[in-house]
Amino acid sequence: MLEIKVNGQEHALDIDPETPLLWVLRDHLHLHGTKYGCGTGLCGSCTVHLDDRAVRACLVPVSAVSGKAVTTIEGLGTGSLAVQQAWRELDVPQCGYCQPGMIMASVALLREKPSPTDADIAAAITNICRCGTYNRVRQAILAAAGKGEASDA
């Protein structure tokens, strides 16, 4: 039995310890906000927090999260965080598939750097979005950091 803590809840799982956290979240805990996009850590759609640090859940074996706190998009609540509000104000999402990963990466960035520069954002947000939300993601992070103008573009 493997014990993990996700969004504040403890779970005991009878599972191959090599299973990536992504599939434990999706197929065992039924938390579908964390998405599969590449399985190789390249796209960031599966970004979650491990003790407040952004990690790509497809690369983390579930055995590695024992004793740590996992937070997924569902654990952020229903949209009241400053990042989520900025996302709403700027209508950032298009198809929305990569957006949980984008939001998780952005929340972690702002925790680490409350006033990120453009370079900080470029270095931290390496997530792939095929719809092209990048400029709005950048604006929303700046808006959430209280730095940017909430443009209506």
Partner 1 sequence: MPEFKLTRRAFLIQSAVVGGGLLVGFHLPAERSLQAAEPATIASGAQPVEVNAWIIIQPDDSVLIRVARSEMGQGIFTALPMLVAEELGCDWNRVQAEYVTADTNLRRNNVFESMSTGGSRSIRGSQEYLRTAGAVARELLVGAAARRWGVPAGECRAENSLITHTPSGRTLGFGAVAAEAASLPPPETVFLKDPDEWQLLGKPVRRLDVPDKIAGKPVFGTDVEIPGMLHAAIHACPVFGGRLKGFDAAAVEKRPGVVKVVGLDDAVAVVAESWWQAQQALLALPVTWDEAGNGQVDDAAIRSNLEAGLDVDDAVVVAEHGKPVAAFQAADRQVEATFYAPYLAHATMEPMTCTAALYPDGRVEVWVPTQNATASLEAAARTAGVDPLKVEVHNTQLGGGFGRRGANQDFTIQAVQIARAVGRPVKLMWSREEDMQHDFYRPASMARLKATLNAEGRLTGMTVRVSAPSILTSLGMKQDDGHDPIALAGFADTFYAIPSLRADYAARRLHVPVGFWRSVNHSQNAYFREHFLDQVAHAAGQDPYRFRLALLGEAPRQRAVLEAAAEHAGWGKPLPAKTWRGIAVETAFGSHCAQVVELRLEDDKRFRLLRVVCAIDSGHVVNPDTIAAQVESGITYGLTAALFGEITIGRGRVEQGNFDDYPMLTLRDMPVVETHLVPSGDFWGGVGEPPLPPIAPALCNALYAATGKPIQSLPLSAHGLRPA
Q: Shortest approach of partner 1 to residue 1 CB, angstroms?
A: 15
CA pair distance 107, 97, nearest whole angstrom:
17
**Is 136 an interacting residue with respect to partner 1 (CB under 8 A)?**
yes
Tokens of 36: 């599969």
> Is residue 102 within a helix (H) or strand (E), and if so which, with residue range?
helix 99-112
Nearer to partner 1, 10 or 40 (CB): 40
Nearer to partner 1, 26 or 49 (CB): 26
Interface pick for partner 1 out of 13, 33, 63, 82 (rule CB under 8 A): 33
Interface pick for partner 1 out of 7, 34, 47, 71 (rule CB under 8 A): 34
The CA-CA-CA angle for residues 143, 55, 73, to 5°, reads 55
**Is 64 an interacting residue with respect to partner 1 (CB under 8 A)?**
no
Tokens of 42: 């390249």
Exposure class string for 114-142: b at 16+ Cβ within 10 A, else e: eebeeebbeebbebebeeebbebbbbbbb
Binding mask 1-20 for partner 1 (x = CB under 8 A): ---------------x--xx
**Is 116 an interacting residue with respect to partner 1 (CB under 8 A)?**
no
> Is residue 120 within a helix (H) or strand (E), and if so which, with residue range?
helix 118-124
Interface pick for partner 1 out of 4, 6, 29, 45 (rule CB under 8 A): 45
Interface pick for partner 1 out of 4, 7, 23, 108 (rule CB under 8 A): 23
**Is 54 an interacting residue with respect to partner 1 (CB under 8 A)?**
no
Interface pick for partner 1 out of 4, 6, 26, 55 (rule CB under 8 A): 26
CA pair distance 36, 77, nearest whole angstrom:
21
